[in-house]
Amino acid sequence: MKIKSAEIVISAVKPDQYPDAALPEFALAGRSNVGKSSFINKLLNRRNLARTSSKPGKTQTLNFYLVNELLHFVDVPGYGYAKVSKSEREAWGRMIETYFTMREQLKAAVLITDLRHPPTADDRMMYDFLKHHGIPAIVIATKADKIPKGKWQKHLKVTKETLDVDPEDPIVVFSSETGEGKDKVWALFQEYMDR
């Protein structure tokens, strides 16, 4: 997709702050530092639109990006950061649960994992949560440039098996460094928007 405009429209913590627009929406989730901001920036051809906001001390918000006046990306705060307090973790859980269970505009959740490593227990929990709620998921295995191409299929298999990925959920090898997988992701988004 040719990106004509991309801007943050709101950082929301509760539903009455979500944009009203009935535009199709994709929510992006992943462990802190997995490469989620880089993924968003790469897809939107922006250097620094999405920034890592999951570090301690930062407010945990759902960041809504309006793209081409056509769709929303929702940047979900990263999980799995060890130093987050129990109360912060619980607040995160409530915010995520509310969003994913009520948002009618949501077309699919994008779960970002690291192709180099097997998905973590937190990744599995996130994926299971999505499946429990019947939410279509697209799995993105990023940082592919960090391993030789000859090993991609082997690592992809580990990712699929560890998450027990539903046969209906696509999984894409990605790199924010090289742009690998970018066209495929946009084609998938288009497909989900047309459903």
Least separation in angstroms between CB 78 and ligand GDP: 5
Member of 107, 143, 155, 182 binding ligand GDP (CB under 6 A): 143
34 binding ligand GDP? (CB under 6 A): yes
Alpha helices in 103-172 (DSSP H): 121-132, 152-163
Choice between 21 and 81, CB closer to ligand GDP = 81
Residue 53, C-beta contacts closer than 8 angstroms, at least 6 positions apart:
59, 60, 61, 63, 75, 77
Residue 140, C-beta contacts closer than 8 angstroms, at least 6 positions apart:
39, 110, 111, 112, 113, 171, 172, 174, 181, 185
Cα distance between residue 20 and residue 17, in whole Å: 8
Member of 25, 38, 141, 156 binding ligand GDP (CB under 6 A): 38
177 binding ligand GDP? (CB under 6 A): yes
The region of 25-33, 56-64, 131-139, 182-190 touching ligand GDP under the rule CB under 6 A is 25-33
For the record, the structure tokens of 114 come out as 């690291």
**95 backbone dihedrals φ, ψ, rounded to 5°:** -65, -45
The region of 12-20, 83-91, 99-107, 139-147 touching ligand GDP under the rule CB under 6 A is 139-147
User: According to CB under 6 A, which residues from 76 to 135 bind ligand GDP?
Assistant: 78
For residue 9, the SS3 value is: strand
Residue type, 35: G
Least separation in angstroms between CB 80 and ligand GDP: 10
The site for ligand GDP (CB under 6 A) is made up of 30, 32-38, 52, 54, 78, 142-143, 145-146, 175-177
